[in-house]
Structure 1
């Protein structure tokens, strides 16, 4: 194209100073002379407005998360040159060696090595030896030469290289993109993984024309790829956007070619493309072997009824704007879905007001990730098994629910306590936050949960008992497993918020002591575990790190199935035969800043000291 000759149209992808954008408007702007290009920047913080000037709206931006994603640019402004696939590949993996005259090579020689002293450059051709073994010297030039073997590349990352593939766009009178293209096959025929993020593609057939030539391709990424920064980027930061397609339609003649081009791809990422869900869903049906799919960072607030490829087993919808599970009810029809990642959304409820009933997903869904959402009530977790009947693995950290937990008497609880209650409330779980749940952990969690329910009933008026039990759906089941707790309601008892309620009396004794060493301590419940361990170590004249504190709860209950007697730390050799098959719940007070009141229930407790 001759210099100074430009062709612009709405939807054209451009780059100015390595900042990608899409043309959204061509025409005059009131109060100015001549024509302007209204562009939407891929980086939503790059512009100055959202498509308006002087109170007049000239165009809409696809990304409406910010009001600074657009600018007006003169058509005469020179844009960055485009690259073909081969040019982008060479720019990334076969760039020219760096010649830096400021770099000097200095060789260290052994004393008496006169030859090298006279001619240090003689060292260049000498083998390098370390401890008598010859080693290979690897520098930037050598690495660059290895990468420059483009025909051997298997993982090809071409993000942010201003790649344009107009040769594959549909032209007037054509029913399919040009046949016989071989540029990609000749450049890197062995590619297995391909990243085409942050480029200048406009039509989906451009992607297909590349994949058509890579018979071994298994993984395709067409999204925004975060560049490397010397600092940690918060997970909620909205990054610059990815590819912006103006046309993803496929003609009847092109469909068989697309199915063949994507026939072996099992992993697809279409993140931050801002494509509507209808378009996203239709594209997945062009991938016959698709198993793993991601549509993160597309600002979805809900999903339409359009169905994804039914073969998908792992689906990621991270960093969208979903607010409930009912807005993704269309996913419930996926028969093979096993893993669903909903991290970094705004989910707070199961069912929205407009939904008559909660969605019920396939029992094949066993893994669910709900981290970094807005879940704040236990009722949400209690309802999860109804929506996910096959659920066995859950990630639930970083939700408001765990920020302000309290015991029934008003004492603060830690997130670790919250995770223990999560285990107790969800009997279906086998893994929580990637950690397998052992039989002993479940035993401690469920007995602890049952004691909290009993305490809540004890502090509340008897008339409130039905409402309290309704908020604990597993209460009856736990009573059948461990026995119904005794509810002791005392009139005129100590106010749980008074000073007296904040003092805990501890009976501390040294295990296996011949002198029957024991002591009584009365401490505020807010004292840390570190403080308690220090006090006990002074009383028994032992090193703090040389002992272990165990709270003996005194709660005996039948051992659940799967818990072997030898796994029960509370059973001693001289235990009466009547206690066989029963376990006492014990809690180790682990050194830390956690308060004693969060470890121990009640106003009195017996602490066993075990020397390590």
Structure 2
């Protein structure tokens, strides 16, 4: 077995990153194997188990991220930081009429770049006798080639490693006085080192140590085997990260303990992103850097807010992103105290979770006492809303109710809340509560009002709405609410009373009528007698044929020139539901033979 392999070593094959998890024999085969876990779980074949034998454990449980490969398989060639920088920003040829770029290498792989003017300017390019100017991509390449002027450097997926900074026996830190990165690109402000072959956090620290202007650092998708530092290295790392305000460690799968230890090295950190790290709960004893103002834990596995208890100690936290988790409740048990986040936390994102209960919305005022900005869209709660009278409500109606339930909201789903919108929302919410009470028995009123914590407050603000109960009132969510009672009759003939679903088609009703009255369907006419009277103007004509002096437009319902007739609706056979023809739950239908 080649000695260059060890558990935790980072490798790349055809651009696919992996980590060595096992070295040795595999039962039923000859020779030695490397058991690797691919960064992309879809790339592997198994979970580290083969023929019933567990050889290694993948960081992602229940996935097929593992594979066995031979040690002699050729891997992608690793690059240093400077090599990756050149490959990304100075790899293409370019032409400048007066300047050529010269690369020189100093001892220690300290690359220097200089632009030297030519002794004689190149002649201009002519086409058909006309002089042309080089523009476009050549101009861009010239700018990128000036590595020493780069301020934003993105080296995502360039097979970088920095073995010179890895831990060596007998030393308490990586080498002092390295200047390779500072010499190549000293002005970097934003740096992305994601998805590379780094194995130890000290490799990252040794790079940042040379970039005194660095303010933003991304190291996503890297599987570190060691994030510990010696006392000497901690002091150097503190200085290296002293001015960085933005740190992103997405999809590293680092334990939360390691994450919090890393954040403590950044004395000026304000924004921290730890998305897609499979966190289901945060250990209470590990709190991230208290300087953090903006924290993103998007796309993890949290199901309750109590699993985020360590964050309640971040007294400077103002924004918390919990998008795309599995959050459905405040706590896991009734006996568990609800967490209370600091007053400084004003903005929370709960979109794309599993919130399905209004009690969760009501509890937010207690759990987040400083909450003024909320994103709550794309949750099950808003997919099948019903008003107390049984009518369907849209997601927008649901957001209006959220606004009314949370008194301090100033922004909802990225939209500012205007005073008129709050007035309308709270008035609408009050009417919904009144309807809910009116459809319930008197004995349920107290229980219902307890589910609406703002009831008394809103009644004091707008006045208590009238609650009208009727002995004949039925629960809109019951089976009875979905039926319609019909009285069918023929003039001078029999009368039949039936109950059918409102969704039954007019064709179905016609069949029932035909069967009960012995009338062929094609010869049957169904007329709904609405019981309403409508005025109809009569033509008041004198004997001489002239119209009366009073025009029809000036007459009212009480004028002798108006008569009243019963409003009737002919139900036409078809696939339209009976409930769409008839208003209410009862109706009288006259049957006529054509």
TM-score by length of 2: 0.75
Q: 2:38 aligns with which of 41, 44, 48?
A: 41
Question: What is the CA deviation profile of residues 333-359 of structure 1, one whole-angstrom value per residue up to 9, with x for unaligned ones?
Answer: 111111111000000000112862100
Q: Structure 1 residues 17, 434: closer, same or farther in 2, change over 3 A?
A: same
Deviation at 1:200, TM superposition (A): 0.2
Q: 1:141 aligns with which of 117, 130, 138?
A: 138
Measured in 1, the distance between the counterparts of 2:424 and 2:484 equals 29
Residues 85, 165 of structure 1: 8 Å contact kept: yes
Residues 366, 390 of structure 1: 8 Å contact kept: yes
Q: Structure 1 residues 179, 416: closer, same or farther in 2, change over 3 A?
A: same
Deviation at 1:392, TM superposition (A): 0.5
Residues 126, 132 of structure 2: 8 Å contact kept: no
Question: What is the CA deviation profile of residues 134-179 of structure 1, one whole-angstrom value per residue up to 9, with x for unaligned ones?
Answer: xxx5332321221111111101000000001001111111110111
Matched, 1:472 2:452: yes
Residues 410, 497 of structure 1: 8 Å contact kept: no
Matched, 1:444 2:458: no
Deviation at 1:434, TM superposition (A): 1.1
Q: Structure 1 residues 415, 328: closer, same or farther in 2, change over 3 A?
A: same
Deviation at 1:284, TM superposition (A): 0.5
After superposition, residues 300-449 of structure 1 pair within 5 angstroms as: 300-305=279-284, 306-353=286-333, 356-449=336-429
Measured in 2, the distance between the counterparts of 1:370 and 1:398 equals 9
2:266 counterpart residue number: 287
Measured in 2, the distance between the counterparts of 1:356 and 1:210 equals 45
SS class of match (2:381) = helix
Q: 1:75 aligns with which of 44, 48, 71?
A: 71
Question: What is the CA deviation profile of residues 303-353 of structure 1, one whole-angstrom value per residue up to 9, with x for unaligned ones?
Answer: 012011111111000000000000001100111111111000000000112
| RMSD (CA atoms) | 2.9
Q: Structure 1 residues 355, 123: closer, same or farther in 2, change over 3 A?
A: farther
1:107 counterpart residue number: none
Q: Which has the greater radius of gyration?
A: 2
Matched, 1:180 2:180: no
SS class of match (2:43) = coil
2:228 counterpart residue number: 249
Question: What is the CA deviation profile of residues 72-101 of structure 1, one whole-angstrom value per residue up to 9, with x for unaligned ones?
Answer: 0110111110000000011111112499xx
Q: Structure 1 residues 354, 478: closer, same or farther in 2, change over 3 A?
A: closer
Residues 35, 68 of structure 2: 8 Å contact kept: yes
Deviation at 1:35, TM superposition (A): 0.7
SS class of match (1:259) = helix
Matched, 1:56 2:36: no
Structure 2 gap segments, 5+ residues each? 96-124, 475-479, 486-501, 504-527, 533-551, 558-565, 570-579, 586-594
Matched, 1:87 2:83: yes
Q: 1:121 aligns with which of 97, 102, 127?
A: 127
Measured in 2, the distance between the counterparts of 1:352 and 1:74 equals 47
Residues 314, 342 of structure 2: 8 Å contact kept: yes
Q: Which runs of 4+ in 1 moved over 6 A?
A: 500-506, 514-523
Structure 1 gap segments, 5+ residues each? 100-118, 128-136, 224-241, 507-513, 524-595, 597-601, 604-612
SS class of match (1:62) = coil
SS class of match (1:95) = coil
Measured in 2, the distance between the counterparts of 1:288 and 1:517 equals 84
1:202 counterpart residue number: 199
After superposition, residues 533-572 of structure 1 pair within 5 angstroms as: none
Deviation at 1:499, TM superposition (A): 5.0
Residues 250, 273 of structure 2: 8 Å contact kept: yes
Q: Structure 1 residues 352, 517: closer, same or farther in 2, change over 3 A?
A: farther
Matched, 1:160 2:145: no
Residues 343, 373 of structure 1: 8 Å contact kept: yes
Measured in 2, the distance between the counterparts of 1:286 and 1:41 equals 29
Q: Structure 1 residues 464, 182: closer, same or farther in 2, change over 3 A?
A: same
Q: Structure 1 residues 441, 82: closer, same or farther in 2, change over 3 A?
A: same
Q: Structure 1 residues 333, 193: closer, same or farther in 2, change over 3 A?
A: same
Deviation at 1:125, TM superposition (A): 2.4
Residues 409, 496 of structure 1: 8 Å contact kept: no
1:299 counterpart residue number: 278
Q: 1:270 aligns with which of 222, 225, 249?
A: 249
Matched, 1:32 2:29: yes
Residues 326, 355 of structure 1: 8 Å contact kept: no
Deviation at 1:417, TM superposition (A): 0.1
Q: Structure 1 residues 474, 517: closer, same or farther in 2, change over 3 A?
A: farther
Question: What is the CA deviation profile of residues 452-491 of structure 1, one whole-angstrom value per residue up to 9, with x for unaligned ones?
Answer: 1111111111111111111111111111111111111111
Measured in 1, the distance between the counterparts of 2:75 and 2:335 equals 49
Q: 1:151 aligns with which of 148, 153, 161?
A: 148
